[in-house]
Structure 1
Amino acid sequence: MQVLIINLVRSTERLAFQQKQFARLGLSFQRLNAVSVDEISEEAYQRLGFGWQRPLRKVEVACFLSHQKAWEIVVQTNAPALILEDDAVLASHVPQLLEDIEHHNFKDIDLINFEVRSRKKIISKTPVYSFANSQTNLFELYQDRTGAAGYILYPSGAQKLLDKLETSAPAIADGFIFSHYGLNSLQAEPAAVIQEDQLAAYGLVPEEQFESVIGRSEHHKPVYASAAEKRKFKTRRLAGQWAMACRYVQVMFKAQKRFIALDKNKFKQV
């Protein structure tokens, strides 16, 4: 399976980290040149950054466009890819898990999420697939709210995301992906990917040792140009929350909301 790592030209330390990590795992990857904020004109920023539930920072627009490039590659190659941000830390069982997934040859799946990120997800009550070799269960993923650092995307899923972009504005990458309820998505457990800024939260390092180049949005407080603009974005936000609530009602009898397990022993090399 092709592996695409989104990496800024200037982030040479991140690239070196990934080269070392992949050598240890016995995997190879293709570097995908990330979109830099320097490549986004003010005109483009005004056009792309103000159509979501809050104003996007330029760095978030750049991150979204970088993921979009990865989706386009998946469509062009007509082959699934593991898409990673360059601060993704991989568990030791990822090579076997990728092999299991390739051998299974999914025909009706659009996306498989490998990541865990300190928030509960809405998944099926029981696994829909179990792989003995990698000791991994795959659950139906009905609702995710954060994290796009590690996911397998199939050509069908990539096309659905690109089609959505024809009628929807860019958003933070994970928000855009997981608000597309037409995607047939799965969640891997135990999680196979975690971002560096989450290592401390899961007890994998004594304290946070990494700073994200992209910048995380969980605690970002937007600045609005006017009260009218704030009301406009608040209306969009409420619409998004309503869509999430409706989604939960649709699946509540076959779903559970919980944290995804992570096996610390599989991240011993961190």
Structure 2
Amino acid sequence: MLCLVVNLAAAPDRLAHMARAFARLGLPFERVDGLLGSDLVARSGPHPRLGPGTYGCLASHLAACRRIAESGEPWGAIFEDDLHFSADAARFLRDADWIPAGVDLVKLETFSTVTCLARVAAATVDGHDLKRLLAKHLGGGAYIVSARLAVRLAALDPRGIDVPIDTLLFNPRHLIDPNMVTLQMVPAIAIQEFKLFTPAEVRLASAIEPDRRERRAERYSGLLGRLRGATKSSRDALKRKIREIRQTIELRREDWERTTVPFGPPAD
């Protein structure tokens, strides 16, 4: 399978990390030159809705989709450069013969959150269920995309998209095609470093972290913002419960599954 790693030229440490990860899997990969949001802003002005880091990330993933579309391959896997893989990940990256027919997208990573999955697996491969993803499960660190979807994504203008790449791909409210079929692998075979470790343990800095900090600062500034911050945990719990109730009108409670998989410390 064509495996693409999105990597900024200014992040050789992250590229070295992924080179070691793929070497342990015994698989080749191809680097896709990541696009700096600041460069995009300098050329065409600020994005209407996204911060520079998120803008660059979105454009980089669409460029990776363009590489798949032009390759002539039926499938391609796209990875961000701070991933940690499970020991059996190579089984699913050598080829795509295990992906059921009619599928557009396979999410390989976990964001360590609870989401809603179809009751019955579309397939089970070597202990991993492939279940249709029915609710938001963010994270664009590791996924397999079909050539037909890659063509559609490659044709998009990132300035015309007002959400980050993971929202575009893995939030049913923002899909480019409401009929597309997305499967979640359970247990997942990949996780991003910032989701695996505490902030103090993270070694690979993210280019979109400044955007996250800016959004947090804006959201929680002033008296109202401080109140919002103080009540965030309670509000998040209430929103999760409301979302769960709404979706379980049609789906059994057992459909809610934690998509996480236990990962040990990195070998390097």
TM over 0.5: yes
In 2 relative to 1, CA 207–14 (structure 1 residues): closer, same or farther, beyond 3 Å?
closer
Deviations 1:18-60 (A, max 9, x none): 11111111011000000013421346243xx22xxxx311111
Aligned-partner SS, 1:153: strand
- 5+ residue gaps in structure 1? 225-240
- Between stretches 120-129 and 62-71, larger displacement belongs to 120-129
Q: Which amino acid aligns with 1:252?
A: E
Question: Are residues 1:199 and 2:196 paired?
Answer: yes
Give the drift of 1:78. 3.1
User: Does the Cα contact within 8 Å between 1:124 and 1:254 map onto a contact in 2?
Assistant: no
Change (3 A) 1:10 1:121: same
Structure-2 residue corresponding to 1:155: 147
Aligned identity (percent) is 21
1:19 partnered with 2:16: no
1:40-79 pair list within 5 angstroms: 40-42=40-42, 44-46=44-46, 49-50=47-48, 55-79=49-73
Change (3 A) 1:149 1:124: same
Q: Map 1:26-45 onto structure 2 (within 5 A).
A: 26-42=26-42, 44-45=44-45
Extract structure 1 runs of 4+ deviating beyond 4 A: 162-168, 216-219, 248-251
Q: 1:35 to 1:218 in 2, by over 3 A?
A: closer
The offset of 1:250, in angstroms, is 9.9
Task: Output the aligned Cα RMSD.
Answer: 3.1
2:180 to 167, 179, 183: 183
Q: Aligned partners of 1:97 and 1:77: how far apart in 2?
A: 20
Check if 1:98 corresponds to 2:93.
Answer: yes
TM-score using structure 2 length = 0.76
In structure 2, relative to structure 1, the CA distance for the partners of 1:216 and 1:196 (3 Å cut) is farther
Secondary structure (helix, strand or coil) at the match of 1:102 reads coil
Does 2:90 match 1:89?
no
Which range moved further: 178-187 or 81-90? Answer: 178-187
Which amino acid is the alignment partner of residue 72 of structure 1?
R
Structure 2: give runs of 5+ residues left out of the alignment. 220-238
**Superposed displacement of residue 13, structure 1:** 0.7
- Please tell me whether the aligned partners of residues 97 and 136 of structure 1 are also in contact (alpha carbons under 8 angstroms): no
Given candidates 239, 249, 252, the residue that maps to 2:250 is: 252
Q: Give the counterpart letter for 1:172 in structure 2.
A: P
Give the superposition deviation at 1:186: 0.4
1:206–1:130 Cα change, 3 Å: farther
Maintained 8 Å contact 2:98/2:125: no
TM-score by length of 1: 0.76
What's the secondary structure of 2:138's corresponding residue? coil
